[in-house]
Structure 1
Amino acid sequence: MINIVLDTNCLISSISKRGNYFNVWRGLHSGKYILYVSNEILEEYEEIISLKTNALIASNVIQALLNSPYVSLIDPHYHFHLIYADKDDNKFVDCAIAAGADYLVSNDAHFKVLGTISFPKLSVD
């Protein structure tokens, strides 16, 4: 299994069969991936999905994640503040570091700065 953290835009893209990241959603349900989330990430997922769709869909997605045996809720105790361009993105970085994730899955350019930091080493795909 591959341990991942998924940023919000990639999660939204993954829940649509036509989305670029739909294989990630399928992989979450087949056990190919273990998704790590924090309460802060779940709150952002719900907020943004509600804005882009509606509250019912957002609630269903969150419940599907919370009920999945391939989703792990963690509480990052350290906040590294590695991303300055969009400080809200740091919650994903902190979660990925705390989880020891293999990948932080994002198409957001703000995460590219992580490639220039030697510690903690984090792969962004």
Structure 2
Amino acid sequence: MVKVVADTNIYISALFWRGNPYKVIHLCFEGKAKLVISRQIIDELERILLTDGKFELPREDVALYSEIILSHAELVCPAFTLNVIIKDPADDRILECAVEGEVDYLVSGNKHLLDVKEFQGIKIVTARQILEILGV
């Protein structure tokens, strides 16, 4: 089964809109691909949903979303730190999860990550690209 890490922006898009990121996350929830996540990704997602002026969701809703994600994903704990994405070092947390989880694909809408294209054999793709790869 294909293993994927989704960037935080994919989870946020999946929560609020019904486009390709939504389809990717729900395909993973349905078992069509294995979703891998780290505590750092969950923490960033929760921070954005709780404090970003565009969202500021109730804490209970954010906790429920995190719980749903965690119930459908393999949780990994990267034991190393990368320094690859100079323009946005927070994106290194996504790469760390991908490497630790030995995933096939990292799915992102983030230009800094997409420009890397591949890292240690992990292909970095858009939501649309992973849907094509999965034959959807």
Normalised by the length of structure 1, the TM-score is 0.86
Counterpart of 2:39 in structure 1 is: 39
Counterpart of 1:104 in structure 2 is: 106
Q: Percent identity of the aligned residues?
A: 28
Matches of 2:80 and 2:115, distance apart in 1: 19
Runs of 4 or more off by more than 4 Å in structure 1? Answer: none
Residues 106-115 or 83-92, more deviating? 106-115
8 Å CA contact 1:82–1:114 kept in 2: the answer is no
SS at match of 2:20: coil
8 Å CA contact 2:46–2:62 kept in 1: the answer is yes
Query: How many equivalent residue pairs?
Result: 121
8 Å CA contact 2:10–2:109 kept in 1: the answer is yes
Shift of 1:114: 2.3
Shift of 1:80: 2.2
Counterpart of 1:63 in structure 2 is: 67
Normalised by the length of structure 2, the TM-score is 0.80
Letter of the structure 1 residue corresponding to residue 85 of structure 2: I
Counterpart of 2:122 in structure 1 is: 122
8 Å CA contact 1:49–1:57 kept in 2: the answer is no
Q: What do you get for the CA RMSD once the two structures are aligned?
A: 1.7
Change (3 A) 1:100 1:56: same
Gaps of at least 5 residues in structure 2 are: 126-136
SS at match of 2:12: helix
Matches of 2:14 and 2:81, distance apart in 1: 27
- 1:54-91 Cα offsets, whole Å, 9 max, x none, are 122211110112223xx011111122211111000100
8 Å CA contact 2:78–2:97 kept in 1: the answer is yes
Matches of 2:23 and 2:10, distance apart in 1: 11
Letter of the structure 2 residue corresponding to residue 64 of structure 1: I
Counterpart of 1:15 in structure 2 is: 15
Gaps of at least 5 residues in structure 1 are: none
